[in-house]
């Protein structure tokens, strides 16, 4: 059967959905670019070696920026070849570099969409607030050591943002969105010793939103910004006054939610472990700031 005839039989197409993780340190983000290594580009090339009937287009639930990691990214593609869905994870992992891993692959109906079927995305940002640098935490966290952050104030500020609002104050230039409205569904800030985890869940995120927001939260936590000024920034959409963006290396796409959970818990739920300082012995008072 010729390439053209085979490809035109739409009923033979199968939608394969991947749950995957990647270390974004060496990638110029998710989206394929003319220059620079991207997660989408690497994956599409690997998939094409296994299914050569049509050009492969991989659609992700969220387009992570350069240097941003993912623990539970979801993406789909249509294929025509004979490889069963359950074999795609192992087949791809044998061709991918060590900084991308496919956790699970399943088949879904053709009208299911990794991006448009999603009901939430959840990100985690990790801050290391200790005085001394930590070699092992460095690739995955922002070392912000000058002042002990006021996480209670940061939590209070985040809590007021839950709901459907215009968050254009936290949108980087270059976005193609027609508006800046989205719904923040849940926020959490947890401190454990010198480690701070900030989790934000929303129906969708604007371009650069989490990093710009975390940058302002840190200024608030260092008491460089008052709670009144922070609220005025986003409520009055004062984008020109939002200056600092948190580094990309501390940010990870934790997971993507759908109406029905489609992946197993072992592959999908909270696959990014929280760093822990609980086993340090003996306990010591935090160093002065």
Assign residue 63 a region: left if phi > 0, alpha if psi is -120 to 50, beta otherwise?
beta
- 279: Cβ–Cβ under 8 A, 6 or more apart, which residues? none
Whether 175 has a pLDDT exceeding 80, the answer reads no
* 283, pLDDT greater than 50: no
Out of 10, 23, 51, 65, the active site residue is 65
Per residue in 179-208, pLDDT tens? 999 999 999 999 999 999 999 999 999 999
65 is catalytic: yes
Q: Which two tokens stand for residue 203?
A: 């129906």
The residue with tokens 């997660």 is 39
- In the chain, what are the domains? 3-108 (3.30.70.580), 119-262 (3.30.70.660)
Q: Is the pTM of this model over 0.85?
A: yes
Position 272 scores a pLDDT of 63
């Amino acid at each position: 059967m010729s390439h053209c005839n085979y490809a035109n039989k739409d009923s033979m197409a199968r939608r394969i959905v991947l749950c995957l993780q990647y270390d974004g340190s060496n990638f110029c983000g998710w989206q394929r670019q003319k220059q620079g290594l991207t997660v989408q580009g690497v994956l599409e090339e690997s998939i094409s070696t296994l299914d050569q009937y049509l050009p492969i287009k991989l659609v992700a639930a969220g387009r992570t920026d350069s240097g941003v990691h993912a623990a539970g990214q979801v993406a789909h593609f249509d294929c025509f070849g004979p490889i069963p869905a359950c074999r795609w994870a192992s087949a791809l992992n044998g061709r991918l570099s060590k900084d991308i891993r496919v956790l699970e692959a399943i088949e879904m109906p053709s009208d299911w969409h990794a991006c448009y079927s999603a009901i939430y995305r959840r990100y985690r940002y990790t801050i290391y607030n200790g005085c001394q640098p930590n070699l092992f935490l460095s690739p995955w966290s922002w070392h912000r050591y000058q002042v002990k952050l006021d996480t209670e104030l940061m939590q209070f500020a985040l809590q007021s943002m839950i709901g459907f609002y215009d968050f254009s104050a936290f949108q980087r230039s270059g976005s193609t969105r027609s508006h800046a409205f989205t719904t923040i569904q849940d926020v959490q800030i947890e401190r454990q010793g010198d480690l701070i985890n900030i989790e934000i869940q929303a129906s969708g995120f604007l371009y650069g939103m989490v990093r710009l927001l975390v940058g302002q939260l840190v200024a608030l936590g260092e008491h460089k910004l008052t709670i009144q000024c922070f609220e005025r920034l986003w409520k009055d959409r004062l984008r020109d006054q939002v200056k600092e963006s948190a580094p990309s290396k501390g940010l990870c796409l934790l997971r993507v939610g759908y109406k029905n959970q489609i992946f197993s818990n072992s592959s999908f739920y909270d696959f990014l472990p929280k760093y822990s300082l609980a086993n340090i012995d003996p306990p010591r008072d935090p160093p002065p700031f």
